[in-house]
Amino acid sequence: GRSFVVDDVYGDLSAIDSELQFDSHWDKINKFRTRDIMCSPVCFKGKVTGVVQLVNSVTKAFSKNDVPALEDVARLIGYALYHARLHENLASMKQLDVEKAQFMRVMVHELKSPVSAAKMLADVLKAEPGLSDDVEHLSGRITERLDQLGGLIMDILELAQVKSGKPLGQVDVLDMAGATRTCCDGLAAQARSKGLELNVTIPKDEILTRIDSQGYQLIVSNLIGNAVKYTPSGSVTVDLRTEDQWAVLEVTDTGIGIPEGDIPKLFKEFFRAGNAKASKIPGSGVGLAGVKSIVDRFRGQIEFQTRQNEGTTFTVRLAVFQP
């Protein structure tokens, strides 16, 4: 589009456009006599989103010298309109995420009861005396699969609550040192059973941040649990420290790493890296999506470095709470 001035709106407008005519309806309603007008397209990023029009009834007519000032105004309006619509679109997307999370939570919650009942029946069958080897083996596999399904249901319920924008618990000041130490103690036996060395460096003093304890537990258990799960041999190292205004949690493993092509999708819901699926190690692909959502909600940072078949380091930064 281009800017232009019309000296006499009731005159011949064919020089601008052969089909252009002035609509005098507004003048009649408002008892107004439009003399001349000046128009400029409202553009942003090369797209026309509207038109700014100035109407003049006084004796001093608009001239081409007035056009640059109107174009400056039109540019500002274009910028404002673009960002207003962007904000509206983001709000709609966030609302859609909330509604999707609520639907997911209701749907998965409905699965919880029948799965629990099936698991109970499978446990009863497995404990029944005098079973043949085939039946006992089959009942064991059923129990194992139901355990995996139950874990998936709990993972999805947690993710749905995180995605809904609600904290998993009461937001308060948390001692990251104590919470991280407790989680490491809980995973130490699993690491030992795989022959892994679990190296933990946590300061004796408190490191405080403001977060819900369940949310932080999800962050720590996922990062350290994944490191143990996907490390066939070697070590897992957990380091908690402070750097300026940040509390920094770093988890390093010598595991299978992440293929380069899978890196951009790592925080996507239900995504699992190709080598993780090929390993046949059970997993839902929702843990890291939940971790990132929690870190983002509390205005933290999460990043990782990885090399396939060599290992991965995840780093989470949360703001240190200043009493």
Is 235 a domain residue? yes
Task: Judge if 148 and 189 occupy the same domain.
Answer: no
The CA distance from 57 to 36, in Å, is: 7
CATH number where 267 lies? 3.30.565.10
Residue 99 pLDDT exceeds 70: no
**Beta-strand runs (E) in the chain:** 4-6, 36-44, 47-56, 171-175, 197-201, 208-212, 235-243, 246-253, 301-307, 311-319
Domain boundary among 117, 141, 164: 164
Task: Judge if 188 and 266 occupy the same domain.
Answer: yes
At 13, the amino acid letter reads L
Task: Judge if 194 and 229 occupy the same domain.
Answer: yes
Find tokens 């056009």 and name the residue.
67
Domain boundary among 143, 164, 185: 164
Q: Which of the 8 DSSP states describes residue 298?
A: T
Residue 258 pLDDT exceeds 70: yes
Task: Judge if 125 and 178 occupy the same domain.
Answer: no
Give the pLDDT confidence score for residue 156 in this predicted structure.
66
Q: Which of the 8 DSSP states describes residue 309?
A: T
Task: Judge if 178 and 151 occupy the same domain.
Answer: no
What integer best gives the mean pLDDT of the chain? 83
Is 75 a domain residue? no
The CA distance from 58 to 34, in Å, is: 9
Is 91 a domain residue? no
Number of domains comprising the chain: 3
Give the pLDDT confidence score for residue 153 in this predicted structure.
67
Asked if residues 236 and 194 have their Cβ atoms less than 8 Å apart, the reply is no
Task: Judge if 11 and 127 occupy the same domain.
Answer: no
Asked if residues 173 and 139 have their Cβ atoms less than 8 Å apart, the reply is no
Residue 182 structural domain = 171-319
Percent of the chain scoring above 70 in pLDDT: 84
Is 249 a domain residue? yes
Segment 90-103 mean pLDDT:
61
- Token representation of residue 263: 């890196």
Q: Which of 10-14, 108-112, 271-275 has the lowest mean pLDDT?
A: 108-112
Give this prediction's pTM. 0.58
Domain boundary among 129, 164, 199: 164
Q: Is the dihedral of CA 111, 113, 115, 116 positive or negative?
A: positive
CA angle 170, 176, 178 (to 5 degrees): 100
Task: Judge if 239 and 304 occupy the same domain.
Answer: yes
